[in-house]
Structure 1
Amino acid sequence: MEIINNTEKLQFEYTKGGEVAKLEYRFYKQKNIALVHTLVPDSMSGEGVASALAAAAFAYAKEVDKKVMVYCPFVAAYVKKNPVVREQIDRAYHPGL
């Protein structure tokens, strides 16, 4: 699954059959990356697309040495299921995640 970081739109994207799944992000005070919203079309449901988008976002955050702020409920659930990424969470904003 090829995930693209669309830096113009500030979103990670996966395209299939002309439809786009995305995980939107923002930079917070140039210190952190905030993962804001995940949207996966119904046609891609159950294929692991949202998890792949989240994994790409955490890999990117690590690459650019940014702590992660989570605003997206799906990404919060992803973090709970994938404890290896918890070290990347900004604890000042998410002490319980």
Structure 2
Amino acid sequence: MERVTDNRAEAEFELAMGRHRAVAAYQMEGDTIVFTHTIVPKALEGRGVASKLIRAALDSARDRGLKVIPQCPFVAAFIEKHPEYRGLLK
């Protein structure tokens, strides 16, 4: 099963599926993680890849005690639809 990894060197959460890779890019600002954009290749669209990626990224932020700023529209919409993550917002 594919799993999401935090590539801190590239400041991206990654989900590799076959030859394709979805990413959620971020910037760290102290104890805050700013999600700047999410990229899902066309070949992976419509399969829930972005949701899986963002859920894992937000779970990681919660586990690390980080606050979240969702500059990325997808991350903002995901948090709006999943109130259990609203407590992470800065």
With the shorter chain as reference, the TM-score category is over 0.9
- Structure-1-length-normalised TM-score: 0.87
Displacement of 1:17 after TM fit? 2.1
Gaps of 5+ in 2: none
Gaps of 5+ in 1: 91-97
Within 5 A, what are the aligned runs for 1:36-47? Answer: 36-47=36-47
Which secondary structure state, in structure 2, belongs to the residue aligned with residue 20 of structure 1? strand
Counterpart position of 1:4: 5
Quick one: percent identity of the two aligned structures?
35
Displacement of 1:75 after TM fit? 0.5
Q: Give the partner amino acid of 1:6.
A: N
- Structure-2-length-normalised TM-score: 0.94
Q: CA RMSD in A?
A: 0.9
Greater Rg, structure 1 or structure 2? Answer: 1
Q: Give the partner amino acid of 1:77.
A: A
Displacement of 1:31 after TM fit? 2.1
Which secondary structure state, in structure 1, belongs to the residue aligned with residue 78 of structure 2? helix
Deviations 1:51-80 (A, max 9, x none): 111111111111111100110000111011
